[in-house]
Amino acid sequence: MPDTAATPERPFTRSLGPLLILALAMLLGFAMMQSFGTVQEGAKAEMGLSDYTLSLIQGLSAALPLALFSIPIGILVDRHNRVRIMIALVATFVAGTWLTAFATGPWLLFVARMLAGVGTTGALTAALSLCADLCAPAQRGRALLIVGLGKSLGQAAAFGLVGLFFGWFVGNPGLLGGLAPWRGSHALLAAVGTVAMLPLFLLREPARHEVAASTHAPFRIIVAELWGRRGFLLPLFLGQVSVIMADAAGTIWAAPVLSRSFALQPQDFAAWMAPLMFIAGTAGAAVGGLSADLGQKSARRGGLLIGAIIAAAIGVPAALFPVAPSVPMFAIAFGTLILAGSLTGAVTSVALTVFIPNELRGLCIGAFLAVAGLIGFGLAPPLVAAVSGLLGGEQHLAGGLAIVGVATSIVSLIAFIVAMRRAPISATAEPI
């Protein structure tokens, strides 16, 4: 019989160990998924790549596997052992990072980045589902905050650690058999990840709760449940996908803008970009998780999403960071954009675990990642390259990035307002 009760309350400290292991996995995944962006100028020079080719390697390589595999992975997460799925996906993004280090051409590099992307985002689906069953609904903002901290540390490591590795190879060209700095950076990162994934084998599968139908219900019933919640899910997806477009474009193109507009190399900005990414991502995840928990206590319908609406509004002016007149102004605006994106991501994750039944969560997260990957990663980077081309060429990259960021941030603000008005009462309640 379906379990329609909420996850039993238990001391939050009992969940800390598994949550920290999940956070470590997300740290590794997002560091490896975004590592190439920090050193892509080196690959561009070695392989003779254009900005458009880079945008495909960075964007489409993440979008294509997300579109193809995110929903199947989500269904597997809903129906099978999530810990085993998590281990397989972490091994996938580690393998992708190894392949990045030794790719012999743009096509192999494309495949390598695909593996890093699908492994990381698929692991995120499993991690969010596991988090939901490790804690009661009222604790999920804090639980997802811990996993969000791992994600933020990973994004920071993509700049800081990879930039540090890059500097080592520049100063010591004979390291690892004379690998190019961008290649050597990925080889070291993959070696670290191979060792750091071992704690995952200590995880145990938790019991599932808040099941409205059944984790093995016929697919037609699952689809009907999902369709019944479309009034809430569609604007929620649009809001967060738009945020991801702005953040993905900004993260991917930030390093090239710093190199071209301010003549900085990875080792020059790694020292401040990494802490900026970590502080902004951590603050956003913290405020997002806490605001979601507080929002659940308000009497207002959809109050959980208030923090996402405020963050989306802040993201509109912050998206102008590429055209900042100085490096400090660039850093402040970029950090604000990352903070806002991290905050909306935390709130959206909590919303999916609170408002959606257990048997739909993996599918919803997978569908969300598929749409986010296809549009956010697949469309945003090439769109920036196309807009900069319309403005006059690759030298107008900063302007193209600013236009795309502001437009997508405005769309996200409107969509989150609509989602809040259509939020359901609970995970197992019949859709309104």
Q: For residue 120, which of 233, 197, 208, 17 has the smallest C-alpha distance?
A: 197
- Report the alpha-carbon distance of residue 291 to residue 311 in Å, rounded: 11
pLDDT of residue 211: 56
Angle CA 100–192–41, to nearest 5: 35
- Report the alpha-carbon distance of residue 321 to residue 318 in Å, rounded: 6
pLDDT of residue 236: 92
> For the chain, which residues score pLDDT lower than 70?
1-12, 209-220, 222, 359, 373, 377, 426-432
Q: Rounded to an integer, what is the distance from CA 103 to the centroid of its chain? A: 24
Q: For residue 188, which of 159, 168, 170 has the smallest C-alpha distance?
A: 168
- What single-letter amino acid sits at 367? A
Distance of CA 256 to CAs 38, 211, 214, 247, 260, Å? Answer: 8, 47, 48, 15, 6
- Report the alpha-carbon distance of residue 20 to residue 11 in Å, rounded: 16
pLDDT of residue 371: 76
Q: Which two tokens stand for residue 105?
A: 């051409």
pLDDT of residue 323: 92
Contact indicator for 130, 206 with CB cutoff of 8 Å: yes
Superfamily of domain 12-421: MFS general substrate transporter like domains (1.20.1250.20)
Q: For residue 41, which of 190, 181, 246, 172 has the smallest C-alpha distance?
A: 181
For 179-199, write each residue's pLDDT tens digit: 888 899 999 999 999 999 999
